Structure 1
Amino acid sequence: MAEGAAEASAESGGGGSDSGASAPEPGVAPIKSQYLTTKEQFHEFLEAKGQEKPSQGVELDLSGKLYLAPLTTCGNLPFRRICKRFGADVTCGEMAVCTSLLQGQTSEWALLRRHPCEDVFGVQLEGAFPDTMTKCAELLNRTVDVDFVDVNVGCPIDLVYKKGGGCALMNRTAKFQQIVRGMNQVLDVPLTVKIRTGVQERMNLAHRLLPELRDWGAALVTLHGRSREQRYTKLADWGYIAQCVTAASPMPLFGNGDILSYEDANRAMQTGVAGVMIARGALLKPWLFTEIKEQRHWDISSSERLAILQDFTRYGLEHWGSDTQGVEKTRRFLLEWLSFLCRYVPVGLLERLPQRINERPPYYLGRDYLETLMASQKAADWIRISEMLLGPVPPNFVFLPKHKANAYK
């Protein structure tokens, strides 16, 4: 699971934000009884598949491209359309739980939907067991149109970790290897993996795992420069990411963490990584992709930012529907995004450039009323912005962001 909005989404069931899409046709999505439940079945399955497909990973060349992270809750299709417009090269769907996909849950399958503007698009899977992850990969191979499939080995939250998924796989190398090799056997598209530096703060594991991932058939790995234990309490360790580039070679390594300006992106690329993944930076300012490509700071006006929100609203109503349910679903996801957008400080108000991602902005008055309103840390003000775009909220409406740290009561 990627940055920012990750923690609470899995607490509420792990995904299911885009319920506007349909599940696969009847008879395609297997039910629980169709899982590969024993090691013998799993090995027979792999052996049969191995006769049809090579065991080596498929090549994936994303060198130098800007990769929008798979952002749980906020990385929905309308938001990805916004980021594509501003220059994101690669997009990835929100983390999907493999067991939910195998059960045919419509809300989970909706996370795999791709918009036509997403020319390089992948999906991210979370799971703890080789049999279900491999079966899910085989199912995706038959039913969805993607350019790659990513395995989530970076999710830090307890709900996933305690079940053996996410970061826990970094300490379960036998299972990790079976998952990567098994999925790689059944996919016609490249398999990628997202990991952290390790589980505990002072015990880096990535440099030891990267050569193995290369041998297991991973086409590309993204390294988030923090451990599970750190969460976001410290800055990403780009020095360690630089060390890991050699360990991964010739497999491409992408770096992830704390990129909020073109200077940050430039420094990241100097470590030797093949490219950068952008997560919270895109939530704070989706025009960051434009800034990086044009090597400039954009002093974007409040009216320009409101126009971006209007576009998101329009995309949301297209995606989730324009009935009452669709309007309120669009509003909820708009509010989740506003809980991050409020942390952006306009370039024209900064005493020094650039803004740092770990700095919490103090209260300030903007250059106009709208700029001040957009800087508010209060959920009530985010609701006011949503009413400007979607009309009055329903009676007794309450909003508490899933990423609770961004709001004050």
Structure 2
Amino acid sequence: MFNEMGPYTKNILNKELLVALRKKKYDFKMSESLIKFNDRNKQGNVNLNKSEVKQSGTVTNEDVIKIQQREKKIIDWKGKIALSPLTTVGNLPFRRICKEFGVDITCGEMAMCSSLLQGSPQEWALVKRHHTEDLFGVQLCANNPHVLTKCGQLLNQEMDIDFIDLNLGCPIDLIYREGGGCGLLRRSKVLECCIKNLSQILTIPLTIKTRTGVYSNEKVAHKLAPNFQKWGASLITIHGRSREQRYTKLADWNYIKEVAQAAAPLPVYGNGDILSYDDYKVALDTCPELAGIMIGRGALIKPWIFTEIKEQKIWDISSSERFEVLKKYTNYGLEHWGSDNKGVENTRRFMLEWLSFLYRYVPIGVLEQPPQKVNERPPSYMGRDDLETLMASSSARDWIKISEMLLGPVPDNFQFLPKHKANSYT
């Protein structure tokens, strides 16, 4: 679809690229040569004279050195607010909602490099970008530099993105056991190879999102941070919890400050427990060294948090205004996933996942001590009208009722269990 601003949705996997990936005919000689070159020269770049130039397919060592020295696109990260890459719920329709509320930087959901390289349509859907996302990145997850570098080359050449984010924070057991996400924090040599090779293959910035470490009593981010810039990263986002803590403890903003100081002059974003302008201000007061703030669950609970921060206020949003947001999401979902039965099913499923966070919002008008804190369990309360009471329900049956008000009746025997079961309360 097109308008005066160009295509509504970008980064759609075309048939030719899909066939090339599935038949393993895509030309990855550049990334393969880069990895071989770095493996041979682990002490640093080597200046080759003409007699030392070696051919590797269609790419020579000279070409590889030029790759390493080429200039990257520059992004001014200072003072911006970013939306965290949110698995399952951080889809394109949700990011459109957040853009309308004022977020500066958006990033796609975590994409597995191996699935992208196999041409998986479900994984490539995570790369799609709406034209309103003016500063957009893709987050990649892998457990080795070979698939990561190939994926970086592929996205850099074929897609319209502004930066690539490397996931060092995913706590999911399967990914961790296979050495991806948080698992890379325990494999320092592999981590170095991943960052160096990925950075050198890209002409766009490489950013890194990490946790404090794997274990709560063994923080490593401050030790790794100085190396990240040396290896080629342009920005670090530090989530102030360990893998072991998941979401059960408050984010450690004093430690985020320590990481920011250790990483200087590399820009650092802080992430964790921001649910109001008050939280945002306290975070920056605690850590003035930060280049910016990233918000995850806070945006799921109240996507208008970006407006609150930009306008420095607490918004007592009404139930009808919140319902209008859900109406927009419905329209964006049907536009993105289609308006046939499958599209309606997808829109409903992702809306229900979002509602499993949205119900946690407590209206300012009924709070005894505003603003609400992200780790405080919402109390049972009667809303100021029936819709507000319905939106406050923790029952999946009531979330389904809300979806039926927007998408019609659910099929017989329909059930819903939220994919995200993280306990976020103390």
| Counterparts of residues 39-118 of structure 1 (less than 5 Å) | 43-44=35-36, 47=61, 50-55=64-69, 58=72, 59-118=74-133
Residue 402 of structure 1 corresponds to: 419
Q: What are the equivalent positions in structure 2 for 1:366-405 lying under 5 Å apart?
A: 366-404=383-421
What's the TM-score once normalised by structure 2's chain length? 0.87
Q: Which position in structure 2 is the counterpart of 1:29?
A: 21
Q: Is the 8 A contact 2:246 2:422 kept in 1?
A: no
- Closer, same or farther: CA 105–380 of 1 in aligned 2, 3 Å: same
1:181 aligns with 2:196: yes
CA distance, structure 2, for counterparts of residue 136 and residue 237 of structure 1:
33
Q: SS where residue 361 of structure 2 aligns?
A: coil
Q: Which runs of 5+ in 2 are unaligned?
A: 1-8, 39-60
The offset of 1:157, in angstroms, is: 1.0
Q: Which residue of 1 aligns with 2:47?
A: none
**Which of 1 and 2 has higher RCO (CA within 8 Å, sep 6+)?**
1
Give the aligned partner of residue 41 of structure 2.
Answer: none
CA deviations over 1:30-79 (Å, ceiling 9, x no partner): 65697989x99663365565233235883432111010001010000000
Partner Cα separation in structure 2 for residue 185 and residue 24 of structure 1: 28
Q: Counterpart of 1:29 in 2: which secondary structure?
A: helix
Mapped partners of 2:393, 2:100: distance in 1: 26
- Percentage of matched positions with identical amino acids: 58
How many equivalent pairs are there? Answer: 388
Contact 1:57 1:190 survives alignment (8 Å): no
Name the residue aligned to 1:193: 208
Alpha-carbon separation, structure 1, partners of 2:170 and 2:152? 19
Mapped partners of 2:133, 2:291: distance in 1 = 20
The answer as to 2:351 corresponding to 1:359 is: no
Contact 1:150–1:191, Cα closer than 8 Å, also in 2: yes
Give the whole-Å Cα distance in 2 for the aligned partners of 1:382 and 1:312: 15
Shift in Å, 1:22: 3.9
CA contact (8 A) 2:214 2:244 kept: yes
Give the distance between the partners of 1:115 and 1:40, measured in 2 at CA: 32
Q: Check conservation: 1:133, 1:183, Cα contact below 8 A.
A: yes
The letter for the 1-side match of 2:67 is K
Question: Counterpart of 1:192 in 2: which secondary structure?
Answer: strand
Partner in structure 2 of residue 170 of structure 1: 185
**Matches of 2:421 and 2:12 in 1, distance apart?**
28
Pairing partner for 2:134 from 103, 113, 119: 119
Q: Distance in 1 between matches of 2:202 and 2:15?
A: 18
Instruction: Give CA deviations for 1:216-274 in whole Å, capped at 9, x if unaligned.
Output: 01000100000011111110000011111111111100000000000111111220210
Give the superposition deviation at 1:208.
Answer: 0.5
Query: Which structure would you say has the larger Rg?
Result: 2
- Assess, with a 3 A threshold, how the Cα gap between structure 1 residues 29 and 92 changes in structure 2: closer, same or farther: same
Change (3 A) 1:31 1:153: farther
Residue deviations 1:337-360 (CA, integer Å, cap 9, x gap): 000000000000000111010011
- The aligned residue for residue 57 of structure 2 is none
Structure 2 residue 195 is matched with structure 1 residue 216? no
For 1:204, give the aligned amino acid.
K
Whether the aligned pair in 2 keeps the contact of 1:340 and 1:406 (CA below 8 Å) is: no
Over residues 186-243 of structure 1, what are the superposed CA-to-partner deviations in whole Å (9 max), with x where a residue is unaligned? 1110000101101110111011100000100100010000001111111000001111
Q: Is the 8 A contact 2:116 2:124 kept in 1?
A: yes
Tell me the amino acid that sits aligned with residue 29 of structure 1: L
Aligned counterparts of 1:40 and 1:76: Cα–Cα separation in 2? 32
CA distance 1:209–1:406, change in 2 (3 Å):
closer
* Deviation (angstroms), 1:303: 0.2
Q: Quote the Cα distance in structure 2 between the aligned partners of 1:218 and 1:275.
A: 16
Alignment of 1:335-346 (within 5 A): 335-346=352-363
Contact 2:34 2:64 in 1 (8 A): no
Give the 3-state SS of the residue equivalent to 2:255 in structure 1.
Answer: helix
- Output the CA distance in 2 between the equivalents of 1:259 and 1:122: 21
Check the 8 A contact 2:32/2:146 in 1, yes or no. no
Q: What is the identity, as a one-letter code, of the residue corresponding to 2:392? A: A
Per mean C-alpha deviation after superposition, the further-off stretch among 21-30 and 56-65 is 21-30
Cα distance in 2 for partners of 1:51, 1:283 equals 44
Q: Which residue of 1 aligns with 2:159?
A: 144
C-alpha separation between the residues in 1 aligned to 2:185 and 2:171?
Answer: 11
Post-superposition Cα deviations, 1:313-337, rounded to whole Å, max 9, x if no partner, equal 0000000000111011000000000
TM-score by length of 1: 0.90
Q: Give the Å deviation of 1:404.
A: 3.2
2:301 alignment partner AA: L
**How far apart, CA to CA, are the structure 2 residues paired with 1:40 and 1:123?**
22
Q: Distance in 2 between matches of 1:34 and 1:41?
A: 15
